[in-house]
Amino acid sequence: MEKITFAVLPTLFGWMGVIASQRGIRRLNLPTASRKTALQNLGPEIIDGVWDPSSFEKLRLKIERYFLGEKVCFDEALDLRKDAKFFQHAWKACASIPRGETKSYAWLAMKSGSPSAVRAAGQAMARNPVCIIIPCHRVIGSNGLLGGFGGGLALKQRMIELELKQ
């Protein structure tokens, strides 16, 4: 059986839950107002997992720097192998969007190899398991509107503005 570790990290924007396998991070949730909610949002995968906040300290410090408006390189290994190939392509394309820039869902679909799959690109962003590391907040509608975001549009706008500061 594969070893799973997890923790809930305090950040300037709220509590963030994180899960990792031995291969890399599987999930990093968007900030929530309470530690309890962040833990609940991790779901059933943590049932057989090991609580290990110390193994995520480097990530926590990077997240803190990110929320302070600093430029951060999230180079942690990811474990996204269980997800659909199109989603993996979309997440890779999204990760290539430079800090302080936004791209459209249509751009994302094209970069993912399926130019007509704009809605699927949106679904890939909605199911992004490692928010911030894969910066789905940088993907907006072709009309310039923010579109959806799991943490709410106010958080999406705040994160985009945070990245424009530097």
Question: Does residue 131 carry a catalytic annotation?
Answer: no
Q: Measure the CA–CA gap between 137 and 149, rounded to whole angstroms.
A: 7
**Residue/partner pairs of 42-48 with CB below 8 Å, 24 or more apart:** 42/6, 42/8, 42/17, 42/18, 45/4, 45/6, 45/19, 46/4, 46/6, 46/19, 48/1, 48/4
**Catalytic positions, written as ranges:** 136
